[in-house]
Every structure is written in structure tokens, then in C-alpha cells.
């Protein structure tokens, strides 16, 4: 498809409208964080510990990672459209399972299955790469994820209000009806964007080494993984910090929780506006440095005794800005290392990114115990952001060495 192909809304014979791609990515993001203000209350409802309830984040991310290993090659072989639609249908069934779960074990099982919605996020990016060149794709992914950022920005706030008014089940009913709407929109608007592949599915998996032996792919992948790792650690640890350290109610927690998403929105706007001009490498470098500086300020603030909800969540905005600049550009970079493997690269890169996020989310939940304060979480976020700077610096040096 060309950059100039005409778009007719709700006509799947033309390229999909950007709003469809935004909502596909958005339903995945919403599923990740809308219920976070409910975690303490859900622990009480299921009569279990917060650490076990927090696994609903970690196992969701872990399953995301596993699925992404398979989603890319399957979509390269069979097409983006059928994989997205089947994934959304399974997601709807799993969401109903979460709603009617009689105990925490059943809930966590269906929560793990619910992660199948990751096909929407992974393949919305692959669809963009099907349609555009690298730097143009970075801009478009930036616009898609900028719009997507609105969802997690308001999601926790809405989730906190629903929790206080109707209980945690309301959050999952919201996810069900939102998923149903996105399924209908995708059915009507999204045609097939991938070129037909004559390769077998086994052949698609055999092409993984072509990506895994590329230093540039690993550089972009690790920059995205470490950059987003700070945010995933935040997802796992911030509800504990908000409720146990600062004593925030679910409603207030949801409002404060949106801080990184506000920054993420701004970072993606910067990507959409400037990626084509400056290129993906500079954008990733600037993004990772921004996040690292934000967490350095947060460490200084906490160790100086000036920690408060406003300072803690305020500095998280810089992490959001950094991620908004890092993830879209690093994703465009990794998808462009081998353009004919865009779906495979999106899945594999996403698996590494989300898998690392699952580990960091679980680590944050394990280290945050009564009396520890916010320090373990801030240190995890600072170090992962710093590692992201190192990863993209390696890519830049490698390209200079090769004269690219």
C-alpha cells in the first residue's frame, strides 16, 4: 500500500482509518491498567494478599510476551485481519470469565487468557509498517500511540470512580463492552494490509535467527524493553505506593496514576511531529535521556525528604514523555531492520519488551513491603531507564561504524 492510498471509513477494501488503529492499540492498553485502582479492594474481595492480586498484572504481561512470539509469524503467514478478529473474540470470552470468577485462582486464569488482546496492539503497529516507510511509520506509530495514550490516561481515573461507585466488576464490564465495540469497528473497517506469504508457518519461525543475529535489532529492542520496563515496574508498584505510602483512595489514586500517560501523550506528539525530520535514533536517545533524568530527580526528591504524591507522580510524567519518544521510534527501527519480517519483528520485539516488563512488575511487587517506602520502585525505574540510554547509544555507534 502507498502513503497516498485513499481511505474510506468503514470500508475494508481501503486502508484502515487511523482511528481504528488507535482503538485497537487502546483496548490493549485499557485492559492493562483500568482496574489498577481496584487491586487493594480486589484483594479484600477474594480474601487474598495484595502480592497475589498484583500477579494479575505480572501474569498478564508474561502471557503477552509469550503470545507475541507467535502472533507476528502467524500474521505474516495468514494475514493481520483474521488474527486480530480471532484474538478480540477470545478476549471477550476471557473478560466474561474474569467477571464471573468465583475465586482468585479462576480470576487469574482468565486474566492470563485475557492477554490475547495483545494481538490488537502488536498488529496495529505492523499494519502501519505495512503501509509506510521507516521514518514515516515512526511518525504514524507516534500518532497512533499518542491517541492510544488518552485511554490509559483516563482509564485509571475512570476505574477508580467505578470502583468506588459499583465495585471492581464494573471495570471488567467496561472492558467487555469496549472490546465488543472495537471488534465491530475492526470487522467493518480493517481489510488485509499484509502481502500474501508463500512461506509456511514453520518457515516463518525459522526466520527468527535473521532477526536475532542483527545487533541493530537487539539495540532497538533493548532500548524499547528497558524504556518501557520503567513503566511496567510502575504498573506493578505504584498502586502499593499510592495506597500504603501516601494513603490515597482509589478515586484519587486513579487521577494521580494518569501522570505518565499525560507525558506519554506529549512524547508521542513530539514523535509524530519530528520523527521524520530528525530520524528514529535521535528520538529514541532523547526519549531515554528524558526518562532517566526524571527518575534521577525523583530519587533526589525522595532522599531529600520532600516526597509527596505530587512530587512522586509528577516526575513520572517525564518517564511518560520519554516513553512516548522511545517506544514508537524504537519500534519503527526494529520493524525496519528486516522489512519483510515486520510482523515477526513486531511480535518478537514486543515479546522481549513485555516479558521484561512482566519481570520488573513482579520485582516491584516483591520489593515493595511495608516500611520500604517508594525507594525500591524509583531505583528500579531509574536503572532500567539508564540501561535504555546505553542500548540506543550502542545502535548509534554501530551505525556510525558501518557508515549507515
Which own/partner contact pairs does 102-107 have at CB distance under 8 Å and 24+ positions apart? 103/46, 104/46, 104/48, 104/52, 104/53, 107/46, 107/56
**What are the domain boundaries of the chain?**
18-402
**Cα Rg of the chain, angstroms:** 20
**Predicted structure pTM score:** 0.70
Query: pLDDT value at position 138?
Result: 65
Looking at the structure, give the CATH architecture of the domain made up of residues 18-402.
Up-down Bundle (1.20)
Q: What is residue 381's predicted lDDT score, i.e. its pLDDT?
A: 93
CA angle (335 as vertex; 56, 352 as ends), nearest 5: 30
d(CA 151, CA 30): 6
Quote the pLDDT of residue 94. 97
Phi, psi of 202 (to 5 degrees): -65, -35
Reported as a single tens digit per residue, the pLDDT across 20-48 is 888 888 888 888 878 888 888 898 899 98
pLDDT score at 147: 58
Task: Give the Cα-Cα-Cα angle 122, 378, 346 (nearest 5 degrees).
Answer: 10
Residues in the chain predicted with pLDDT less than 70, given as ranges, are 1-7, 129, 133-139, 141-143, 145-150, 152-153, 195-201, 204-205, 339-340, 342-343, 403-404
Q: What is the spatial distance between Cα 228 and Cα 36, in angstroms, rounded to a whole number?
A: 18
What is the per-residue pLDDT for 342?
66
Amino acid at each position: 500500500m502507498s502513503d497516498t492510498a485513499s481511505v474510506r471509513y468503514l470500508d475494508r477494501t481501503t486502508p484502515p482509518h487511523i482511528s481504528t488503529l488507535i482503538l485497537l492499540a487502546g483496548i490493549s492498553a485499557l485492559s492493562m491498567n483500568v482496574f489498577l485502582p481496584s487491586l487493594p479492594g480486589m484483594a479484600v474481595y477474594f480474601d487474598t494478599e495484595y502480592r497475589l492480586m498484583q500477579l494479575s498484572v505480572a501474569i498478564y504481561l508474561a502471557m503477552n510476551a509469550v503470545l507475541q512470539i507467535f502472533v507476528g509469524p502467524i500474521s505474516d503467514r495468514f494475514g493481520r485481519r483474521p488474527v486480530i478478529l480471532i484474538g478480540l473474540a477470545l478476549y471477550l470470552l476471557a473478560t466474561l470469565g474474569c467477571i464471573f470468577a468465583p475465586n482468585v485462582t479462576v480470576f487469574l486464569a482468565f486474566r492470563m487468557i485475557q492477554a490475547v488482546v495483545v494481538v490488537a496492539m502488536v498488529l496495529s503497529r505492523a499494519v502501519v509498517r505495512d503501509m509506510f516507510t521507516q521514518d514515516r511509520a515512526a511518525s504514524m506509530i507516534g500518532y497512533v500511540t499518542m491517541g492510544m495514550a488518552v485511554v490509559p490516561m483516563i482509564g485509571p481515573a475512570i476505574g477508580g470512580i467505578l470502583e468506588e461507585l459499583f465495585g471492581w466488576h464494573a471495570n471488567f464490564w467496561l472492558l467487555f463492552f469496549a472490546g465488543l465495540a472495537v471488534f465491530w469497528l475492526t470487522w467493518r473497517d480493517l481489510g488485509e494490509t499484509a502481502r500474501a506469504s508463500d512461506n509456511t508457518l514453520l518457515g516463518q519461525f525459522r526466520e527468527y535467527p535473521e532477526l536475532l543475529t542483527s545487533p541493530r535489532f537487539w539495540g532497538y529492542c533493548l532500548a524499547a524493553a528497558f524504556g518501557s520496563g520503567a513503566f511496567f515496574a510502575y504498573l506493578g508498584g505504584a498502586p502499593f505506593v499510592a495506597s500504603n505510602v501516601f494513603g490515597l483512595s482509589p478515586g484519587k489514586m486513579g487521577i494521580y496514576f494518569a501522570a505518565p500517560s499525560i507525558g506519554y501523550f506529549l512524547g508521542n506528539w513530539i514523535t509524530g511531529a519530528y520523527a521524520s525530520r530528525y530520524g528514529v535514533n535521535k528520538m529514541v536517545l532523547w526519549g531515554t535521556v528524558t526518562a532517566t533524568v526524571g527518575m534521577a530527580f525523583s530519587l533526589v526528591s525522595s532522599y531529600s525528604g520532600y516526597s509527596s504524591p505530587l512530587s512522586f507522580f509528577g516526575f513520572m510524567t517525564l518517564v511518560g514523555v520519554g516513553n512516548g519518544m522511545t517506544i514508537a521510534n524504537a519500534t519503527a527501527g526494529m520493524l525496519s531492520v528486516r522489512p519483510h519480517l515486520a510482523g515477526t519483528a513486531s511480535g518478537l520485539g514486543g515479546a522481549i519488551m513485555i516479558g521484561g516488563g512482566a519481570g520488573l512488575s513482579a520485582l516491584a511487587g516483591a520489593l515493595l513491603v511495608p516500611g520500604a517506602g517508594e525507594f525500591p520502585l524509583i531505583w528500579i525505574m531509574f536503572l532500567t531507564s539508564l540501561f535504555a540510554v546505553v542500548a540506543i547509544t550502542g545502535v548509534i555507534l554501530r551505525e556510525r561504524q558501518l557508515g549507515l
